[in-house]
Amino acid sequence: MKALFSLLFFLLLLPCTGQEYNTVIFAEDIRSLQLNKEGQWNANPVIVLNSDETIQISFDQLSHDYKRYAFKLIHCKADWTNSGLNELEYLEGFSLQDIEQYDLSEGTLTDYTHYSLEIPNDELRLKLSGNYVVLIMDRDRQEEILATACFSVTERRISIKAELSKSTDMGYNTAYQQLNFVLNTTANQIERPESDLKILVRQNRRTDNEIFGIQALMTSANEIRYEHLPELIFEGGNEYRRFEISSYKLSGLGVDKIRYEQPYYHAYLMESTQRNLGYTYDKDQNGRFYVRNMDAEDNQQTRADYIWVHFSLKAPEALNKDGIYLQGDFTYASFDEKFRMHYNSQSGCYENSVLLKQGAYNYQYISVNNSAAGSTLPIEGSYWETENEYQIFVYYRPIGADYDALIAYHEFSSQTDL
C-alpha cells in the first residue's frame, strides 16, 4: 500500500498533510534503524496511552563525527497521513527535541555513532491515542529528513477476538489464510461503525499487503463481526529464511563463508532456491532482526560491527519481469532499489549485497508486479500452515471528532494468541 518516498520529496515534507508515512531510512550514512516497545527487540511499536510504556528508537550514523540530530513528532490519521492537529492538542512539552543520547562504536572496523531516544520522556508527554511519526533530522537543516519512524498509541475501549481459518473462498488447505475477528463494544458503544470505524490489518508488520478500510459483515448491540470477508484473505507465505552474522570467526546459520575484503568483512550466504514444492516448519521470528556480536560480552549496540552480506537466489531469469526484492524488517517494508535482486547470467542467480550490522536476521524473497502488494508465491511458495503474526488496529472518529483515536489493538498469531 505504501509507496517508496525519495529523499528529494521529503525536503518538502514538513508542511505536507496528504502523504503517507512509513518507517524508512533516506540518508545513506544512517543504518540499523530500530524502534520497539520498552527496548524489547521483538515487541511491536505500540504502547498504551497514559501508561508507563515507552517507545525506544535507535540508529547508527557511519562515522565517529558528532552530528547534532533532532526529532520532531507528528500525529497522524488512521491512514498514516498528517492529522493536521496543532501540537498543543496531542502533546505536552516540546515536539522538536535534540537527540542527546549517543555512544561511539568500540573495537569495530566500521566507525559509527549509535543514537537513541525515548518517547514519552521527561520533556514530552502524549495526550492522544492514534498514529505518530518521528521525523529524524539534522538540527541545523531541519528541511532534510534523514529517516522516519512510525509507532502507535492505543486505548483499551473495546476488545478484539481473532482467529485464522484454513477454509477460504480460494480453497481449503491451500495457499491462503482467512482472518476473522470480532469487536466487543460493550464498554464503548459504536453507533455508526460503517462511518465511524476504520480498520487496519497487517501481516508480520508488512505495509505492502496491509488491508485498510474494510466494512463489517454483521453488527449487533455489543459486537461487530469481520468474518468471511474476501478482503481478509492473505497469502500464507512461508516461514522466513534465517541467517546469523554474529561472529567473524565462524560461519553462522545460513552462511557459506566469511572473508575479509578491505575495509569490510563479507558474509556469503548459502545459495537460496525456490521453496514452492511443499511446506516445512521452521521456527522464525516473522521477519525481525536482532543485533548481536557473540564475541563481545556487553554493549552489543556499540560493539557489533558492519558486514557486507551477499544474497544469492537460484531461479529462472523469467522471474525478473516482476522484480524480486528482499523483504524483512531490515528492508523497512519498502521495495527500494537497494533491496532488489539482480539477475547474473553467468551464475544463473539473482544477487544483491547489503551492509548490515552483526546479528541474527530473517528474510524472504518477494515478487512484485504492477500491484502494490508483493507475493511470496513464485519463490517462497505459500501455505496455509505457515505461522504468521497479524496486527489489528481499530480507529474511531465519531461525528464531531477531529482525529482518529486508536481504541483497540490486537496481536494475533496463527499458532498462538499473542
pTM: 0.92
Which of 274, 364, 356 is CA-nearest to residue 315?
274
Give pLDDT < 50 ranges for the chain: 1-15, 417-418
pLDDT for position 142: 85
CA distances from 250 to 71, 84, 256, 272 (A): 39, 52, 10, 20
Tens digit of each residue's pLDDT (9 = 90 or more) over 123-132: 999 999 999 9
pLDDT of residue 7: 44
**Please, what CATH class does the domain formed by 159-236+386-413 belong to?**
mainly beta
Q: List, in sequence order, every beta strand (DSSP E) within 208-320.
A: 211-212, 218-219, 223-226, 233-235, 241-244, 255-261, 264-269, 272-273, 289-291, 306-314
**Mind listing the pLDDT tens digit for each residue in 66-109?**
999 999 999 999 999 999 999 999 999 988 999 999 999 999 99
Report the pLDDT value the prediction gives residue 296, as an integer from 0 to 100.
86
Enumerate the CATH 2.60.40.10 domain ranges in the chain, comma separated: 159-236+386-413
Rounded Cα distance between 246 and 296, Å, is 10
**pLDDT score of 384:** 93
Question: Phi and psi at residue 142, in whole multiples of 5°?
Answer: -70, -15
CA nearest neighbour of 186 among 207, 155, 214, 157: 157
Find, among 389, 42, 390, 36, the residue nearest to 239 by Cα: 389
Architecture label for domain 7-154: Sandwich (2.60)
Pairing of strands 405-413, 389-396: antiparallel
